[in-house]
Every structure is written in C-alpha cells, then in structure tokens.
Amino acid sequence: MRLLHTSDWHLGHTLYDVSRDAEHAAFLAWLLETLEAQAVDALLVAGDIFDTANPSAEAQAAWYQFVAKARRRMPRLDVVVIGGNHDSAARLDAPDPLFAALGVHVVGGLPRTRGAMDQERLLVPLHDAKGRVGAWVAAVPYLRPSDLPPVPGDMGDRLVEGVRAVYAEVLAAARRRRQAGQALVAMGHCYMTGTELSALSERKILGGNQHALPVDLFPDDVVYAALGHLHKAQRVGGREGVRYSGSPLPLSLSEAGYRHQVLLVELEGDALREVQSLPVPRTTDMVRVPSRDAAPLDAVLTQLEGLPAHDADTLEWRRPYLEVCVSLPRPEPALRQKVEKVLEGKAARLVKLTPAYTGTGGALAEVQPGLSLKERTPEDVFRARYARDFEEPPALALLEAFHTLLTDVQEESP
C-alpha cells in the first residue's frame, strides 16, 4: 500500500496581511497531480486544515473543491482527515454526512456517544489498489484537556497520561479489528518530546509545550504514526515510522529555510517498507536582506539596489516576500521611506522591516549603579534610555529638543 502523509495546510493564512490563497491553490493542484502520479491508496491529513477556527469563505471553498476534485480523479482513494488545534472541530465535523457518502473520513474533534468514546468514527480501514483492507488507522484528532479521561494522581502528569489512555483505547480497538497482514497506523495532532518547534508560528498546545508527549505513546506494532502540528518536517525519537510531515508552505519568514514536503509511505503487508520525502515546489520565494543578522543602512540599501527588477509578466502573488533587517546606531525617522524608494521597480515585496538597535539593551539601573532615581537628573534618565537602543550618543539637536520639552513641562507645573 501507498499512503501520502501531509498536515498543517493552514488554508486562509496571511503573511503580514498578504493572502496566501494563490500559493495554497498551487499546492493543492500539485498535491492532486502527485496523488495520481504516485498511485497513492490513501491520503492522511494530520490536522490544521484551516488557519483559524473561523476560516474565510475562500479557504472553505478551497477545501471543498479539493475534496471534490480528488474524489472525481481518484474514486478509490481513501481520505482520512483529523482536526488540529487551529481548526474548529464542529466546523470540520458538520459536513460529515456528505463526506461519508463520498467516502471521505473526517474527525474534527474526539467523538463521544452517551459519554463514551465513539470508536467507530476513530477507526478507519484503508484499502489497497485491489479494494482489500490493507491497514487500519487510529484517527485521533487534536485532544483538548476536556477530552481526556481522569487518571489516578499517582500515574504522573494528568494531561500526558490522559492522552496515553485515549490512544491506548483506540489502538486496542484497532488491534481487535485488524487481521493478519494488515498494518496498524496512527494519526495525531500533538507536540512530541525531542522535537523542534517553530516558535513564531506554532501555538503551545495541551497546557503548554512542557506537556510534550513521549514517543512510546505509539507501541512498536504501530508501523507508522502520521503527525501534525510542527511545521518543520522531522522524525520523533529516532523512529523512522513516527513522523511530522511539516507544513507544505512556510508559514512565517523564519520557516523559509525549512524543507517543505509531503511524505510517501510504503507499507508491505503489516510492515513499513519505506518513507520517501516529496518536496513541495516553492511557488513564492522568501528573501532576507542581509541573508543573516542585520547590517548598517547604507550596506542594506546597496544590497537592495542589486535585487532583480520586477517583470511585468510576473503574477503579483509570485513576487518574492522580502524582509529587511537594518542595524541602527542612531534614530532613522525616514528608514521606511529610504528602503521603499530603493525597492521601486524591484521584484520583491517588502513585508517586514526589522530594525536592530545597537545600544546596550540594559536596564536604567545598570547605568550609574548605586544612584537612586531621585538622584538622577531628567537628562541622565533620557541618556540612559537612549543608550539602551542606540550605540551613538544623542545628537545635539535631539538634546536641545528634549530640554525644550522639559522646560515647557516644568513651567506648566504648579
């Protein structure tokens, strides 16, 4: 059997108020082509279909259109989707009757019937090219603290052990159903121990990332665990069969260097044969000037002048995103205007201008230690605050302006 594992689409995402809809459309079109070209038997999407719990109409339309196109082009494809922490469980579950008729299995939130976990919705058979059941999936969505069963206080962390109990129950039910030669697969949207978090775009979940889940959550008979939440593709605990696929697009400028991919998983009977990375084409580049750290304004402007010119035939959404980082030893009120002027006619779109102040960064008490606030003159405080951000001393004109304001305030005081 061939499975394709992906996650963290974040449909509806914007980068500094710039829509990513066109980039997502390109990814979904590529994904359809890949599913067909690779003769995939089952698609596993491990959460965060949407970027927010209340996605735009355009984001929802992209999701429904993808499902419809996948079903038309690959009628035998099994599709299994779980909800993530960005998703609304109720929104994902609402069209379940329609999706069930199409053979698409979506589990937005942990299903319960009369207080008990609904194992029927969490266990999904996967079929091979001949229509035979080749694997069973324990499709566990993102678990919120309210989803977890109570555990005895002497068993350790309540949240971690609660998640363990949920997976143990679902996997036990899957073992009872599978027959000889059928593989056991798990899905989850969670944060595991020993992994690398992209702090700029991934929320802390399950009571905070200190509640990282151990890899032994998935026993050795789970031949593959398709995980979502972390945007950087990675193995967990050194196990080949416990993987984050990562996001298909960089969701922050800090993720520009990540390997964005989907994973093609090959099963041979009830064993894992191979996991292959399929890189997702980057349709819109991300550029940082300078490439590392920050540089003085003159040096940055020179680098910006060397950027390629804008091609009128290039679609707007294909223009590279640009972050500019400038070190500032002194205030530069016209910083943005100078940068934008140099970028006129260039291909890149400025989405983030980051000033890097070269001052001490220290607290006021670290300047002239031992003096109380009462013993410091207003100019002392002003100079100390200025030095925290800027390496050079304040200009004479700035000091004169400060003293003018100070005189006005003092003269107005009763």
In what side-by-side order are the strands of the sheet with 271-279? 104-107, 78-82, 42-46, 2-6, 261-268, 271-279
CB 83 within 8 A of CB 142: yes
Task: Please give the pLDDT value at position 173.
Answer: 95
Task: Please give the pLDDT value at position 157.
Answer: 77
**For the chain, counts of helices (H) and of strands (E):** 10, 20
Return mean pLDDT, the chain: 90
CB 1 within 8 A of CB 41: yes
Instruction: Give residue 7's identity as a one-letter amino acid code.
Output: S
3-state secondary structure of 358: coil
Q: Label the pairing between strands 295-296 and 321-328.
A: parallel
Structure tokens at 303: 């680098």
Structure tokens at 252: 């922050």
C-alpha distances (whole Å) from 296 to each of 99, 193, 261, 288 are 56, 40, 36, 14
CB 43 within 8 A of CB 9: no
Question: How do residues 45-70 score in pLDDT, each as one tens digit?
Answer: 999 999 999 999 999 999 999 999 99
Task: Return d(Cα 236, Cα 227) in angstroms, integer.
Answer: 10
- Per-residue pLDDT in tens (0 to 9) along the chain, 414 residues: 999 999 999 999 999 999 999 999 999 999 999 999 999 999 999 999 999 999 999 999 999 999 999 999 999 999 999 999 999 999 999 999 999 988 899 999 999 988 889 999 999 999 999 999 999 999 999 999 889 988 876 667 788 899 999 999 999 999 999 999 999 999 999 998 876 665 555 555 655 544 688 999 999 999 999 999 999 999 998 899 999 999 999 999 989 889 999 999 999 999 999 999 999 999 999 999 998 889 999 999 999 999 999 998 899 999 999 999 999 888 888 999 999 999 999 999 999 999 988 776 666 556 555 565 666 788 888 888 888 888 888 888 888 888 888 777 877 765
Question: How do residues 211-262 score in pLDDT, each as one tens digit?
Answer: 688 999 999 999 999 999 999 999 998 899 999 999 999 999 989 889 999 9
- The domains of the chain are located at 2-279, 284-358
Task: Return d(Cα 241, Cα 368) in angstroms, integer.
Answer: 58
Q: Which DSSP state fits 362? A: -
Instruction: Give residue 110's identity as a one-letter amino acid code.
Output: L
Would you tell me how many other CB atoms lie within 10 Å of the CB of residue 72?
9
pTM of the predicted structure, to 2 decimals = 0.85
Q: Is 280 exposed, middle or buried (0-12, 13-18, 19+ CB in 10 A)?
A: buried
Task: Return d(Cα 388, Cα 337) in angstroms, integer.
Answer: 25
